[in-house]
Homo-oligomer: A and B are copies of this chain.
């Protein structure tokens, strides 16, 4: 019987800059009554990673550029927040109707460069994405492995919107130890025909599954996954970024 169980990791406190997410997650696992085993996966919400890494900017410290001021005036935004978004942006994909869809430094395409106004520590700080979410995932993974001696994989996730479909879903922006993609090309279907084009973004499917339990208001920033057989991997989550030449919506 193939089965995957996701469990909300409880008891993780409000995270402050300098905290070690691995230590807090290990404590949460204990409080939840879970013992990590080899092959488990831990999904970690970007917010606690960014907070632990001190990826906060005080709005008061930001001097908006001319473009940030123009854009903010046009759409009724806070020019300092627009400036913060632009500093995380390498290319603007769309900026119609007051919605800013951009390409971030690492190459993720998302609204407002993933800069979040909610769930920050107080009202005048904005939370940025981790500088290198793969490195964040790797640190949490090695911390958990040191603390628990289990060989696990870690995903850092964030909540993104998407074209054509309404509502947000959790996606993966950083991995450690797990191949984000499952390449079924060359395998055959039930009729013996080759499955030509099928590469599954399992890291995003795992993140989405975790999203079901990461109800923000309930303070569940991490989810434990058991039973999903993943492919070991030493690379980056950036394989989840569609190559621009194969993307009709850049």
Q: Assuming A165-B171, A190-B217, what are 18 further A-B pairs, CB within 8 angstroms?
A: A1-B7, A4-B7, A94-B248, A109-B164, A109-B165, A120-B191, A159-B200, A162-B162, A164-B249, A165-B242, A166-B199, A166-B240, A168-B198, A169-B200, A188-B217, A189-B217, A205-B212, A208-B208
Residue of B nearest to A167 (CB): B201
Q: Are B163 and A189 in contact (CB under 8 A)?
A: no
Q: Are A189 and B119 in contact (CB under 8 A)?
A: yes
| Chain A interface residues (CB < 8 Å from chain B) | 1-8, 10, 14, 32-33, 94, 96-97, 99, 101, 108-110, 118-123, 159, 162-171, 180-182, 184, 187-191, 193-196, 198-202, 204-206, 208-209, 211-213, 215-217, 219-220, 228, 239-243, 246-250
A94 to B250 CA separation, bound complex (whole angstroms): 12
* A-B CB contact pairs (8 Å), 26 listed: A2-B7, A2-B8, A2-B10, A2-B213, A2-B220, A3-B7, A4-B213, A6-B209, A99-B248, A101-B248, A109-B163, A118-B195, A119-B190, A119-B191, A123-B191, A164-B242, A164-B250, A165-B171, A166-B181, A166-B239, A168-B198, A195-B217, A200-B211, A202-B211, A208-B208, A209-B209
A247 to B94 CA separation, bound complex (whole angstroms): 11
Copies in the complex: 2
Chain B hits for A200, CB < 8 A: 159, 167-169, 211
A62 CB to closest chain B CB (Å) equals 20
A30 to B242 CA separation, bound complex (whole angstroms): 41
A35 CB to closest chain B CB (Å) equals 13
